[in-house]
Structure 1
Amino acid sequence: MSKIRFGLIGSGWRAEFYIRIAKALPEKFELAGVVIRDREKGEAFAAKFGVNVVQSLEELLNNQLDYVVLSIKRGIVSDYLIELFKRGIPVLCETPPGETIEALEELWEQAVQYHAKVQIAEQYFVQPLYSAWLKVIQDGKLGEVSNINISSLHGYHGVSIIRKALNAGYGNCTLIGKRYSFEVTETYGREGMAFDGEVFSCTRDRLTLEFENGKVAFFDFSDPAQYHSFIRTRQLTVQGGRGEIDDLSIRYLTSANVPVTQELNRIDLGRYSNQEWAHYGIMLGEEFVYRNPYTNARLNDDEIAVATCMDLMGEYLTTDKEFYSLKEALQDTYIALKMEEALKHPNQEVSTSTRIWAQ
């Protein structure tokens, strides 16, 4: 596909990613307009970001669009999605599609009824580091993967990586968990580092997910400190019969069963005496396990991932090759809902069952 021309519904923090990406990669993406129903708010938004703002979906669709990006609150996303399905508009949906199991099933039925062209902008598996980890697994360096310990992503984001790492498909699982609360000192705010020593209470969710194929995930997440703290960090371990990922360390056996330990090495341009600024890729030994497709654009890791979803959406519309389907998103969101159920019933088993999208 040539340059992608898209429309945007939404004006929140996540919606701003798409504006920045379109400005950073004008040869690849063109933002035709943003829907903001409130005229005064829309005028302020247009002035701030230098974009075309319209007040209705009809006005947006008057433009020649390849697809619409839907980036709105979770509670109202299903209604917008169904409206776009009915109009036959291809949609890249930023928000997880639904807050209840019933809403997820209704959305699936509507998507099937209207032959919806839809993908979900779940970005983490195409972020540089997660993409590199998954490449190591896909290359078979660990052998058959049996378990994952993930302490870096919340809810459906974490489930997405769990299912991909374990190759769990749409198999059912049994969950057990408990929510804790601990004090932590604030270190990070909207303006950068915080030094006032404020202490707040932070939840920590610990769950075990046992899949019917025998594979196991250990889930651990602290909210909100995990994403925004200089004294809380991520941890990821994936184990297979012939090796393991231990965060940035990769341990595996060669074909002659010689044990090898290597580190993932991030390559960034613009550090120290280098005059550029961009992420270039991630290497394991002498091979790249990830290359940034936008090396000349000044994008952070999440922006790289969202831009990748935008590109893959364009590819999907020309080839029908899905990259993160509604079916996958429904499954990940469903398991995340069951995780919340397990946390509300500490140390009691909760089980998933096969839903209509997986039959």
Structure 2
Amino acid sequence: MHKRKIGMISFAHLHAVSYLEALVRRDDVELVGIADENRERVEPFIRKYQLPYYADYRELLAGDVEAVIISSENANHAEMTIEAAKHKKHVLCEKPLGVSREQMRQMIEACQAGGVQLMTSFPNRYIPMIVEAKRAIERGEIGEVIAVKATNKGEMIGGWFNDRSLSGGGSLMDHTVHVMDLLNWIFQSQAVEVYAQADSLFHGIDMDDAAMVHVKFANGVIAALDASWSRKHAAPYKRDLTMTFIGTEGVISMDYFAQVNEIYSETTGHAEWSYWGDNKDEMLIDDWIQCLKEDRPVSITGEDGYNSTVIALAAYESIRLNKPVRL
């Protein structure tokens, strides 16, 4: 059996750990190394899994690796993806795909020119309740959808996420792209207008940690999203994902993190939730590897990453102008 040779570039983003764990469980993958300029960040995984380490990601790309997962700071996605494409390596890139329209177009075009696939990391597409909600909407079970109310809130991670030059934005950038990708996918309709408000309300940082984003789609659907870093450390879980689809004939409500056990421990001093639901990161990796093995188009393309991120960028433009922005 041919094992796919996979490399990992940067562990700046937290998803890298769960992707690594998904890869090492597979018998059809050979993990050929981890590249990260910050060795301390990846040292535990290098030791645990006895993996080669590269201080310069270009040295990893120069080898026989077939595909790479890029989980670097957002501002570095473009450079690393373009370099991977030059080396004829397939790419799974963390979200947001890039921090500007120009960067993202360059990434997409470089992968096309290199004859390699570019997949954007949107694991929420694999959540079974979201898949079933999409099917129910397509079957017309709630009539015509007219509005969506969504929340994607999290705890402030800090570090490079709070550095606009590396992240491209605060909580609005961090959380908007996930939900907008889901809505783009579910409705297969382009966003045509964006209006947003954002501020620093929770942490006293020079970065948006609270945002409300309103989007109008070409099919007439209006979506409202709370994209904030409003979860406190004492919260039982550090993030949420809820969506309510309001139709002419009914409503679908979903809460991804309802799949939890409640734990009350004197050790921690506060309530905790232990998630027991499906592993969306593992399902994304499974699908990506299968696409590479079968040489078929990836399920979540670079164009998908572009289409969700331009909504977040338009939201920042709306905030700057204090008015709705047309796409």
Q: Could you state the TM-score of these two structures normalised by the residue count of structure 2? A: 0.74
Give the one of 197, 200, 214 matched to 1:208.
Answer: 214
Q: Distance in 2 between matches of 1:166 and 1:157?
A: 15
> Cα distance 1:3–1:99, how it changes in 2: closer, same or farther (>3 A)?
same
Could you say what secondary structure the match of 2:72 adopts?
coil
Assess, with a 3 A threshold, how the Cα gap between structure 1 residues 239 and 2 changes in structure 2: closer, same or farther.
farther
Q: Give the corresponding residue for 2:249.
A: 242
* Displacement of 1:39: 6.4
Alignment of 1:29-108 (within 5 A): 29-37=29-37, 46-47=46-47, 50-57=50-57, 59-61=59-61, 64-108=64-108
Percentage of matched positions with identical amino acids = 20
Contact 2:146 2:222 in 1 (8 A): yes
SS in 1 for 2:228: strand
**1:183 positional shift:** 5.5
Structure with the largest fraction of helix: 2
> SS at the partner of 2:31?
strand
Where does structure 1 lack aligned partners over 5 or more consecutive residues?
185-200, 249-263, 273-297, 353-359
Q: 1:177 to 1:39 in 2, by over 3 A?
A: closer
Residue identity matched to 2:53 = V
Instruction: Compute the RMSD of aligned alpha carbons.
Output: 3.7
- d(CA) in 1 for partners of 2:234, 2:180: 20
Between the aligned partners of 1:18 and 1:172, the Cα distance in structure 2 is 30
Match of 2:313, as an amino acid?
L
Equivalent-residue separation in structure 2 for 1:139 and 1:243 (angstroms):
13
Once residues 144 and 104 of structure 1 are traced to their aligned partners in structure 2, the CA distance between those partners, rounded to angstroms, is 33
Compared CA separation, residues 183 and 18, structure 1 to 2 (3 A): closer
Deviation string 1:96-129 (CA, Å, 9 cap, x unpaired) is: 2221222223333333333332111211111344
Matched-pair contact (CA < 8 Å) for 2:196–2:316: no
How far did 1:202 drift? 8.7
Once the two structures are superposed, the pairs formed by residues 223-238 of structure 1 within 5 Å of their partners are: 223-225=229-231, 229-230=235-236, 234-238=241-245
Q: Which residue of 2 aligns with 1:219?
A: 225
Match runs of 1:296-315 below 5 Å: 304-315=279-290
The answer to whether the 8 A contact 1:202-1:225 is kept is no
Q: CA deviation at 1:51?
A: 2.8
AA aligned opposite 1:219: L
Question: Secondary structure in 1 aligned to 2:147?
Answer: strand
Residue 210 to residue 87, structure 1, CA distance change in 2 (3 Å): same
Quote the offset at 1:340 in angstroms: 1.7
- Separation in structure 1 between the aligned mates of residue 182 and residue 118 of structure 2, nearest angstrom: 21
Kept after mapping to 2: 8 A contact 1:145/1:166: no
| SS of residue paired to 1:97 | coil
Q: Is the 8 A contact 1:341 1:350 kept in 2?
A: yes
Larger radius of gyration: 1
Residues 52 and 172 of structure 1: CA distance in aligned 2, closer, same or farther (over 3 Å): same
Measured in 2, the distance between the counterparts of 1:245 and 1:31 equals 41
In structure 1, the residue matched to 2:195 is 176
Matching of residues 138-217 of structure 1 within 5 Å: 138-152=138-152, 154-168=175-189, 171-179=190-198, 182=201, 203-217=209-223
CA distance in 2, matches of 1:319, 1:91: 14
Q: 1:95/1:151 Cα in 2 relative to 1: closer, same or farther (>3 Å)? A: closer
What is the CA distance between 1:204 and its match in structure 2?
3.1
Q: Distance in 1 between matches of 2:209 and 2:147?
A: 24
Number of equivalences: 290
1:336 — aligned with what?
312
Q: Whole-Å Cα distance in 2 between the matches of residues 342 and 227 of structure 1?
A: 31
Give the superposition deviation at 1:139.
4.2
